[in-house]
């Protein structure tokens, strides 16, 4: 079974982003970029399925600017066999990415598509579900455990209040939650090997997909600042403040 894994290049999760002074967006020039953490978990899961003998080939896919090649090389260093970049400098929204991935699903016919549950830049949490809808596949979102048996995937999902397990027929789309696995570190020999692996580049036009944005960003602003608080010397003062000043208890 082939697996398609979608990875996104995002601002590294440790970076505290700044809103541009003209309110057109956040300043991401000269900021460290990395693979979206949920996508690392997706690649790791695909590699583990391959190690178990369930999966035969892992294809990593990314959509965006030329530099996304670095993200794909990282995916191949973790263990993906080859990679596809859909290159465009347009702003890509989840619907556009889902359409690009749908075109690649049609082309590659994977048995399973794994994505992260959300990207930490736009915080949308949409692409996996949208891909499942467009490709008319079942979906298993927010997965914390995946088992593939007899043409079905049994997936434990993190839902409000606890966990739920569903079974989906394959092919299916799965999105990863944090607790699915702990991604491995990439080793230097694997980084070197990844440089030799195949990386194909397409344009959205090659796939016949219109990627024009459907949502217009009018403004990006700083969140309202909290007014500075105070430090209290002891528990008694804290309780007094909460009772008389804040009146919350």
Partner 1 sequence: MTILVIAEHDNASVKGATLNTVTAALACGGDVHILIAGANAAAAAAAAAQIAGVSKVLHADAPGFEHGLAENVAAQVLAVASGYSHLVFPATASGKNIAPRVAAKLDVAQISDVTKVLSADTFERPIYAGNAIATVQSLDATKVLTVRTTGFDPAAATGGSATVEVLAAAADAGKSTFVGSEIAKNDRPELTAAKIIVSGGRALGSAEKFNEVMIPLADKLGAALGASRAAVDAGYAPNDWQVGQTGKIVAPQLYIAAGISGAIQHLAGMKDSKVIVAINKDGEAPIFSVADYGLEADLFVAVPELVAAL
User: Omega before 171 cis (within 30°)?
Assistant: yes
Residue 202 CB, nearest approach to partner 1 (Å): 21
DSSP secondary structure of 70-136: HHHHHHHHHT-SEEEEEE--SPPPHHHHHHHHHHHHHHH--SEEEEES--TTT----HHHHHHHHTT
* Cα(132)–Cα(139) distance, integer angstroms: 6
Residue ranges in 6-25 that form contacts with partner 1 under rule CB under 8 A: 11, 13, 16-17, 19
216 binds partner 1 (CB under 8 A): yes
CB closer to partner 1, 79 vs 175: 175
Q: Among residues 22, 30, 161, 189, which is the contact residue for partner 1, using CB under 8 A?
A: 161
Residue 220 CB, nearest approach to partner 1 (Å): 5
* Cα(128)–Cα(132) distance, integer angstroms: 6
215 binds partner 1 (CB under 8 A): yes
Residue ranges in 58-117 that form contacts with partner 1 under rule CB under 8 A: 93-95, 98, 117
Q: Among residues 142, 148, 209, 211, which is the contact residue for partner 1, using CB under 8 A?
A: 142
Residue 83 CB, nearest approach to partner 1 (Å): 25
Options 69-77, 82-90, 105-113, 150-158: segment touching partner 1 (CB under 8 A): 150-158
CB closer to partner 1, 196 vs 231: 231
196 binds partner 1 (CB under 8 A): no
CB closer to partner 1, 196 vs 214: 214
Q: 196-201 — which CB contacts under 8 Å span 24+ positions?
A: 197/76, 197/80, 197/81, 197/82, 197/83, 198/82, 198/83, 199/69, 199/72, 199/73, 199/76, 199/82, 199/83, 199/84, 199/85, 200/82, 200/83, 200/84, 200/85, 201/84, 201/85, 201/86, 201/87
Q: Among residues 34, 62, 127, 181, which is the contact residue for partner 1, using CB under 8 A?
A: 127
Residue 194 CB, nearest approach to partner 1 (Å): 28
- Cα distances (angstroms) measured from residue 142 to each of 118, 163, 178, 243: 9, 10, 8, 40
Residue ranges in 162-191 that form contacts with partner 1 under rule CB under 8 A: 162-169, 172, 177-179
* Cα(42)–Cα(143) distance, integer angstroms: 10
Residue 1 CB, nearest approach to partner 1 (Å): 17
Residue 98 CB, nearest approach to partner 1 (Å): 6
With CB under 8 A, what is the number of residues at the site for partner 1? 78
Residue 17 main-chain phi, psi, to 5 deg: -75, 155
């Amino acid at each position: 079974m082939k697996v398609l894994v979608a990875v996104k290049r995002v601002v590294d999760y440790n970076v505290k982003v700044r809103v541009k002074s003209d309110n057109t967006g956040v300043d991401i020039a000269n900021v460290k970029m990395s693979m979206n953490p949920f996508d690392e978990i997706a690649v790791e899961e695909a590699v583990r399925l391959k190690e178990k003998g369930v999966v035969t080939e892992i294809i990593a896919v990314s959509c965006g600017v030329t530099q996304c090649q670095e993200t794909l090389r990282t995916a191949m260093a973790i263990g993906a066999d080859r990679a596809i970049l859909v290159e465009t400098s347009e702003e890509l929204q989840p619907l556009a990415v889902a359409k690009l991935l749908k075109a690649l699903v049609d082309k590659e016919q994977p048995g399973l598509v794994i994505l992260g549950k959300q990207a930490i830049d736009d915080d949308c949490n949409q692409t996996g579900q949208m891909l499942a809808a467009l490709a008319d596949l079942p979906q298993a979102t927010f997965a914390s455990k995946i088992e593939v048996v007899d043409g079905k995937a049994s997936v434990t999902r993190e839902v409000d209040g606890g966990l739920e397990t569903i079974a989906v027929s394959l092919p299916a789309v799965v999105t990863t939650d944090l607790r699915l696995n702990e991604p491995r570190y990439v080793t230097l020999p694997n980084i070197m090997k990844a440089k030799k692996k195949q990386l194909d580049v397409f344009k959205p036009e090659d796939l016949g997909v219109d990627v024009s944005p459907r949502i217009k960003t009018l403004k990006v602003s700083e969140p309202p600042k909290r007014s500075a608080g105070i430090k209290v010397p002891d528990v008694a003062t804290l309780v007094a403040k909460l009772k008389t000043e804040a009146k919350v208890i």
